[in-house]
Chain A
Amino acid sequence: MLQQLEGSKAIALGIALCRPEVVCAYPITPQTHIVEAIAEMVKKGELEQCEFINVESEFAALSVAIGASAAGARSYTATASQGLLYMAEAVYNAAGLGLPIVMTIGNRAIGAPINIWNDHSDSMAMRDAGWIQLYAETNQEALDLHIQAFRLAEALSCPTMVCVDGFILTHAYEQVEIPESRQVDAFLPPFDPVQVLDCADPISIGAMVGPEAFMEVKYLQHHKQQSALELIPQIAAEFSEAFGRNSGGLLKSYRTDDAQTIVVALGSVNGTIKDAVDEMREAGHSIGSISITSFRPFPLQAVRTALEKAKRFVVLEKSLSVGLGGPLSDGVRKAMSGTGLKGYTVIAGLGGRAITKRSLMALFMQAEKDELELLNFLDLDHDVVNRQLAREKETRRSGPVAENVLRSIGTVASRIA
């Protein structure tokens, strides 16, 4: 049924349709509305045969999911930002053990300075942990990706993160088609674990593995993700057949045929990019965009195919690899290595800085003229930066950077963006 509702609520309804058996969570903005909604459904008895556990930390949340999954239960949790980092050890552990847990990330920046707003620093910090990472463009896709994620995770016995832009999607009201439970039941079979703690057939899980086998175990994790490159489009195609709409897949191209400039990005910002593309196309510019859904595994071949006819690509990313650039660019550049295609990295929207269509269009026009640097920062206030640099030069005890920067900007209560 088509409904106008908050993204978090849509995701929660989607999770409930997947019939999770153990859900555990620790509150962190902007993930809270998702687990609150699930807690309510469990408490009211609308979501049956599900244990909802309020834990004392994110580390415990994922650890409970690990235990539950190893005992054969379909397990789910959600987190964001600092919470994802707090559970980092368990994040790697779940992947290493091959437990098909599904976790929503309400993408949010990582401090310091503490910041509750959206960017991709959190999930990017865990990009090499061995989880599949899918990024949602809209709330409809966020819901759909969760259904596909359980299917994918359980098929491969590999944990999967569904990354949803915090606030921008989690707190946005928009229309979402909520599937029927029989549709989801037909699409997602009950969890059939490849390993399970069973008294009738006792096994030991999580033993120490030495140099003689560790490489092989790790390689098999990589192999699993490589096979996900085939499985993800297959599941998306089946989903499309069953539910009548396109969601998921490795990536989605928008007006890229004959485009000389192609923008590459993850998540909800692709909506704004598409509007910018349309407006520029109308004005005669040759531009298109690619929204990457599967960041892990990274679809090298699909990216190469999608970009190879262009003249240049612009990677717009909401995460900064401090000291290098952007993690998404690394993948795109690798995909395009040897082609001689010009590529630009643009770091944008850190800590919730609004990414406006106006700024994007100005940026893309600069890109068309190859006037960009290899690494660019969208809407960076150079005056503020320079003032701080001067302050640091002037005096040894220049004080905390964040406080200085805020002071030099002045009150922000009146700012819209």
Chain B
Amino acid sequence: MTLQTIKFYQTGTFTVGNRLLDESQRTVQANMRRTNSLNSGHRACQGCGEALGARYAIDAAMRASNNQVIAANATGCLEVFSTPYPETSWQIPWMHSVFGNAASVATGIAAALKVKQKKGIRVIAQGGDGGTTDIGFACLSGMFERNDDVLYICYDNEAYMNTGVQRSSATPAGARTATTPAAGPHPGNPFGTGKNLPLIAMAHHIPYVATASVANLHDLEAKVEKAMGIHGARYIHIHVPCPLGWGSHPSDTVKIARLAVESGLFPLFEAEHGEITSSSAIRRKAPVEAYLKLQRRFAHLFGERPDLETIAQIQEIADRNIARFSLEGR
């Protein structure tokens, strides 16, 4: 795997990393000679949070493993946009089997590496929220409980974007999707549904669970690096805005991701062996409206007569997170 010189397209955002920092503290992405695991030329939409998240995560994993990474990928946007054959954007050995089995395929790869005594090579499985929280859930849970030596990364854009924005079990309450339209007396995704996969992962008592956001590059890379330093089943859940599905401006991807964190709707934390070991305090607390208003999937809550009751319900969710994960500024 040769290093390649890349250009910085993202100047003006935080994604490149802070070059005022000491070199050793700079992000992988800030390095002009990073591996660029997910190469340019892929077919992701403008402003795709998943493309960003995947490159951040896999680049960091490559640095942490001296480029010895193999990935199994679930069906989904990431798979489709990265490998329009005969072109592939992946600079690592990469495999896609079907939608629901990425975790199991990764288990198989890890088993093969173990039996062939290729100790330095690390295995990552990745998928979107549908491939992780819904159709791939059984395989993922099996991989967790066996404590297979796999790092699973979920890029959560909160719906089935590849098929045209249908609801998943990671779709937030109140959000409009193609199958939870903004219609009727209770528009959008019903409250009281969905599942929290990081917490479910923790319930398996696996060595490492973390949440991360494309808005916080340092934190994301640090968590990937930490995960790569551990053997056994590991899980990182990365929040990745989707301009297409969320109805947001492509240039707002990082901003929206940051608002999700700052509002408390997407708490950043780490857990080891089932216990939370750290959480990232909110620096400037934002009201949920600031997050919701930038996305057309929540447009039905605003307009001429804002649905204050629903907005308050969403604020309650954020406030509960803040209390539960100790996100209050310290």
A residues at B contact (CB < 8 Å): 21-22, 24, 49-51, 53-57, 59-60, 63-73, 75, 89-90, 93, 97, 197-199, 201-209, 213
Closest to B101 in A: A63
Closest to B96 in A: A206
Interface string of B1-16 (1 = CB under 8 A from A): 1000000000000000
Give 1 or 0 for each of B105-145: 1 = CB within 8 Å of chain A CB.
11111111111100001000000000000000011011001
Is B190 in contact with chain A by the CB < 8 A criterion?
A: no
CB-CB under 8 A from A208, the residues of chain B are 79-80, 83-85
B residues sitting closer than 8 Å to A (CB atoms) are 1, 67-70, 72-73, 79-80, 83-85, 88, 90-98, 100-101, 104-116, 121, 138-139, 141-142, 145-146
Most buried by A among B67, B93, B111, B115: B111
- 22 CB contacts below 8 A, A to B, read A22-B108, A22-B112, A53-B107, A53-B111, A54-B146, A55-B104, A56-B141, A57-B138, A57-B139, A59-B100, A60-B104, A63-B104, A63-B105, A64-B105, A67-B107, A70-B109, A72-B112, A97-B97, A202-B94, A204-B93, A206-B96, A207-B96
Q: Which residues of A contact B96 (CB under 8 A)?
A: 204-207
Instruction: Report the minimum CB–CB distance from B50 to chain A (whole Å).
Output: 16
Task: Give the distance to chain A from B110, nearest Cβ to Cβ, in Å.
Answer: 8
Is the beta-carbon distance between B108 and A24 smaller than 8 angstroms? Answer: yes
Interchain CA distance A199-B94 in the complex, whole Å: 10
What A residues does B108 contact at CB under 8 A? 22, 24, 53, 63-71, 73, 75
Among candidates B79, B95, B107, residue contacting A70 with C-beta atoms closer than 8 Å? B95
Indicate if the CB atoms of A207 and B101 lie closer than 8 Å: no
B1 & A199 in contact (Cβ 8 Å cutoff)? yes
Kindly provide the distance from the CB of B218 to the nearest chain A CB, expressed in whole angstroms: 27
Q: How far is the CB of A188 from chain B (nearest CB, A)?
A: 17
**A199 and B121 contacting across the interface, CB-CB below 8 Å:** yes
Contact A67:B83 (CB < 8 A) given known A21-B116, A51-B115, A93-B98: no
Q: State the CA gap A146–B139 with chains docked (Å).
A: 28
Closest 4 pairs between A and B when the two form their complex, measured CB to CB: A67-B108, A63-B104, A71-B112, A56-B142
- Within 8 Å CB of A49, what residues of B? 115
**B residues near A97, Cβ cutoff 8 Å:** 97
CB of B17 to closest CB in A, whole Å: 25
Chain A residues with Cβ under 8 A from B101's Cβ? Answer: 59-60, 63, 66, 90
Contacts of B106 in A (CB 8 A): 67
Known A-B contacts A197-B93, A208-B79; the reply to A72 vs B116 at CB < 8 A is yes
CA distance A121 to B326 in the complex (A): 57
Assembly CA distance A208 to B88 (angstroms): 10
Residues of chain B contacted by A209 (CB below 8 angstroms) = 85
Question: Which B residues touch A60, using CB under 8 A?
Answer: 101, 104, 107, 138-139, 142
> Would you give the shortest CB distance from A206 to chain B, in whole angstroms?
4
Contact in complex: B72, A22 (CB < 8 Å): no
Instruction: Work out how many contacts link A and B, with CB atoms closer than 8 A.
Output: 159
Chain A: minimal CB distance from B65 (Å): 9
Chain A contact surface mostly: mixed
Closest to A57 in B: B138
In the assembled complex, the CB of A363 is this many whole angstroms from the nearest CB of chain B, namely 43
Chain B residues, Cβ within 8 Å of A71: 70, 108-109, 112-113, 116
Across the interface, name the chain B residue whose C-beta is closest to A50. Answer: B115
Tell whether, in the assembled complex, residue A73 and residue B83 are in contact, meaning their CB atoms are under 8 Å apart: no
Residue of A nearest to B142 (CB): A56
Report B-chain residues with C-beta under 8 Å of the C-beta of A21: 112, 115-116
- With A53-B111, A67-B112 given, name 18 new contacts (CB 8 A): A21-B112, A51-B115, A55-B142, A56-B139, A60-B101, A63-B105, A63-B139, A64-B108, A71-B108, A72-B116, A75-B108, A75-B112, A93-B97, A199-B67, A204-B83, A204-B90, A205-B96, A207-B84
| Pair A205/B112 contact, Cβ less than 8 Å | no
Q: Across the interface, name the chain A residue whose C-beta is closest to B80.
A: A208
In the complex the two chains form, what is the Cα distance from A50 to B105 in whole Å?
17
Contact residues in A for B73 (Cβ distance below 8 Å): 206
Which B-chain residue is minimally distant from A60 (CB atoms)? B104
Cross-chain contact of B111 among A73, A93, A201 (Cβ < 8 A): A73
Q: Are A66 and B105 touching (Cβ within 8 A)? A: yes
Most buried by B among A72, A93, A205: A205
Chain A nearest Cβ from B249, distance in angstroms: 28
Shortest distance in angstroms between A25's beta carbon and chain B's nearest beta carbon? Answer: 13
A90 partner residues in chain B, CB cutoff 8 A: 97-98, 101
Asked if B97 contacts A206 (CB within 8 A), the reply is yes
Q: Collect the chain A residues with CB atoms within 8 Å of residue B139's CB.
A: 56-57, 59-60, 63
B142/A68 in contact, CB under 8 A: no
The smallest beta-carbon distance between B330 and chain A, in angstroms, is 41
Known A56-B142, A72-B116, A207-B88: A64·B104 in contact at CB below 8 Å:
yes
| A208 CA to B83 CA, complexed, in Å | 7
Task: For B94, list chain A residues within 8 Å (CB).
Answer: 197, 202-205
Within the assembled complex, what's the spacing in Å between the Cα atoms of A416 and B26? 77
Distance A65 CA – B115 CA, assembled complex (angstroms): 13
- What is the minimal beta-carbon distance from B51 to any residue of chain A, in angstroms? 16
Contacts of B68 in A (CB 8 A): 199
Compute how far the CA of A97 lies from the CA of B105 in the bound complex, rounded to whole angstroms. Answer: 13
CA distance A23 to B121 in the complex (A): 21
